[in-house]
Structure 1
């Protein structure tokens, strides 16, 4: 995540406010990618991929396990994980496409609708219940844990890695590979 993006969320101590703010940033990035062209679209899409990857990893490591502890939480989380896996598969395909390809926007629009529907479901069925069940001090602790998880998360989607355990095992090596890949890509783009 860029330092600008991190700075936008550093002022909130509540994990629900943090995640909802990120959902807003995701919506804004989808709009920017959809309505831009050329290098601007490419850069906006790279930011979107990175934000989605680290955001979902943090939710899978921190938020979903907490939600499972709530009555009926297993079903709620299982539904969100299925949505996340589908979104990661589409995002992985898009991540390998040329943003100028006409098929890119069609696939991106489908992903946008799926991700925004997923975010609304998280906010309604998961986040609101977490706010009701956990104290402000606990929500503050979860926000710190989410930030830490995002700091070590892979920056590209990993379909099939939708659990806290799988993220803990596969995440660190994938994060290193992703971050090196991003640095190489950024260096090439500057040439």
Structure 2
């Protein structure tokens, strides 16, 4: 999705960035609600592994919020997008190495299928914009649906007003 933003023509840049923002926000929320709590319980040093991932996610969310607030026309947009891409890529590598590979090794196919179904359900009601500070499963469950409704209402209003 970063490639899509980087290759978007100027008139489609805001839409491409909005799609990237939505995808990252929804994906991370689902991980925070489903995958990380499971990893905390199942992995040796699960709290440490998940804590490190949450710190990475929080940094990336703050970058994403900053980029989103400033908009694609901001002079620092492209540099900020590059920093975000680097942070997200490093985070994904860390998740794969320290969390996901260990979860695959320590869970059954049935458990992984159940977790995948739960992630899809969480993605369906996750906020469409990043909300730094809501990295815990409890906060996501408490705030996720109202934030998702507000985010989607904001998107609809903005679109109706022709602002993006």
Q: Which runs of 5+ in 1 are unaligned?
A: 1-28
State the match for 2:145 in structure 1: 172
Shift of 1:190: 8.6
Query: Equivalences for 1:102-121 in 2 at 5 Å?
Result: 102-121=75-94
Say if 1:154 and 1:176, in contact at 8 Å, map to a contact too: yes
Q: TM-score, normalised by structure 1?
A: 0.82
Q: 1: distance between equivalents of 2:111 and 2:37?
A: 14
Whether 2:35 is the aligned partner of 1:63: answer yes
Shift of 1:186: 2.3
Shift of 1:96: 1.3
* CA RMSD after TM alignment: 1.4
Distance 1:174 1:129, change over 3 A: same
Q: 2: distance between equivalents of 1:72 and 1:190?
A: 47
Q: Structure 1, residues 103-128: CA drift from partner, whole Å, max 9, x if none?
A: 11111110110001000110111111
State the match for 2:17 in structure 1: 45
Say if 1:32 and 1:44, in contact at 8 Å, map to a contact too: yes
Say if 1:85 and 1:162, in contact at 8 Å, map to a contact too: yes
State the match for 2:53 in structure 1: 80
Q: TM-score, normalised by structure 2?
A: 0.94
State the match for 1:97 in structure 2: 70
- State which of 120, 123, 140 in structure 2 corresponds to 1:150: 123
Q: 2: distance between equivalents of 1:76 and 1:128?
A: 12
Shift of 1:164: 0.3
Whether 2:134 is the aligned partner of 1:161: answer yes
SS in 2 for 1:102: coil
Say if 1:65 and 1:164, in contact at 8 Å, map to a contact too: yes
